[in-house]
């Protein structure tokens, strides 16, 4: 894990969040169906990312949150300081019998610019970095393979190098209730998702 100097202390108890998904009514919290797997993805502001994945067939439920840093149970305001080390991310709970990890990764790569480092468009800061946090070795292998394949496509298109972090998930912290399914509650809200126009090969 990357260590962030001066990381905020955080807290011992979770912050308040929602219990159920505002769109499909399913629980945001485990236990999830036994057949489901979990992957955590960061592509910039989590509002549009969550919308992108809850619309994906085979995804059981999604939740906005913070991961990849050090501060326990951070708030949105703390994460935005850059002193928690966390990225804005979305927990994607999916049924691999319905949607493959390759399909989810293709959606991930094609819907943001993974070459921008600590930013996504006009959103600047380490909380907006591109990140894949896995819960299974097979997911990590698939992510690394898809990154290599997408890099080849990006390079052929004259684009830069991928800066996406790929590593096992240590801890996911749920974001505040008002962030959960934000664009369902605020249809005219901000969505910063913007791909490169480059297609990602799939296995």
For domain 37-184, give the CATH number.
3.30.1060.10
Predicted pLDDT of residue 1? 45
Q: Which residues are catalytic?
A: 45
Average pLDDT, the chain: 96
Q: Is the pLDDT of residue 3 over 70?
A: no
Token digits of residue 97: 């019998």
Instruction: Find the helix packing angle between 137-156 and 101-110, rounded to 10°.
Output: 40
CA angle 141, 56, 145 (to 5 degrees): 15
**pLDDT confidence bin for 6, thresholds 50/70/90:** confident
Edge-first strand order for the sheet with 165-168 is 165-168, 130-134, 37-43, 87-94, 59-67, 172-174
Give tens-digit pLDDT for 20-34.
Answer: 999 999 999 999 999
Write the secondary structure of the chain as one string of H (helix), E (strand) and C (coil): CCCCCCCCCCCCCCCCCCCECCCCCCECCCCCCCCCEEEEEEECCHHHHHHHHHCCCCEEEEEEEEECCCCCCCCHHHHHCCCCCCEEEEEEEECCCCCCHHHHHHHHHHCCCCCCCCEECCEECHHHCEEEEECCHHHHHHHHHHHHHHHHHHHHCCCCCCCCEEEECCCEEECCHHHCCHHHHCCCCCCCCCCCCCCCCCC
- CA distance linking residue 68 with residue 89, whole number of Å: 9
The mean pLDDT of 114-131, rounded to a whole number, is: 97
For residue 10 the two structure tokens come to 């955080």
Q: In this predicted structure, what is the pLDDT of residue 203?
A: 57
Q: What is the pLDDT of residues 148-200, one digit of tens each?
A: 999 999 999 999 999 999 999 999 999 999 999 999 999 999 999 999 999 99
Give Dmax over CA atoms of the chain in angstroms.
48
User: What residue segments make up the domains of the chain, in order of their start?
Assistant: 37-184
């Amino acid at each position: 894990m990357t260590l962030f100097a001066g990381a905020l202390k955080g807290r011992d108890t979770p912050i308040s969040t929602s219990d159920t998904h505002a769109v499909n009514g399913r629980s945001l919290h485990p236990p999830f169906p036994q057949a489901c797997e979990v992957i955590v993805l960061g592509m910039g502001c989590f509002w549009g990312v969550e919308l992108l994945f809850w619309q994906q067939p085979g995804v059981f439920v999604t939740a906005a949150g913070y991961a990849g840093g050090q501060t326990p149970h951070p708030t949105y305001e703390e994460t935005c300081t850059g002193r928690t080390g966390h990225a804005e991310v979305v927990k994607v709970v999916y049924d691999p019998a319905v949607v493959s990890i390759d399909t989810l990764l293709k959606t991930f790569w094609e819907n943001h610019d993974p070459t921008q480092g600590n930013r996504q468009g006009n959103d600047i800061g380490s909380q907006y970095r591109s990140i894949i946090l896995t819960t299974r070795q097979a997911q990590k292998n698939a992510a690394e393979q898809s990154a290599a394949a997408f890099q080849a496509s990006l390079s052929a298109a004259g684009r830069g190098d991928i800066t996406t972090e790929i590593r096992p998930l240590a801890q996911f912290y749920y974001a505040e209730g008002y962030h959960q399914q934000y664009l369902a509650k605020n249809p005219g809200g901000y969505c910063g998702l913007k791909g490169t126009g480059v297609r990602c090969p799939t296995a």
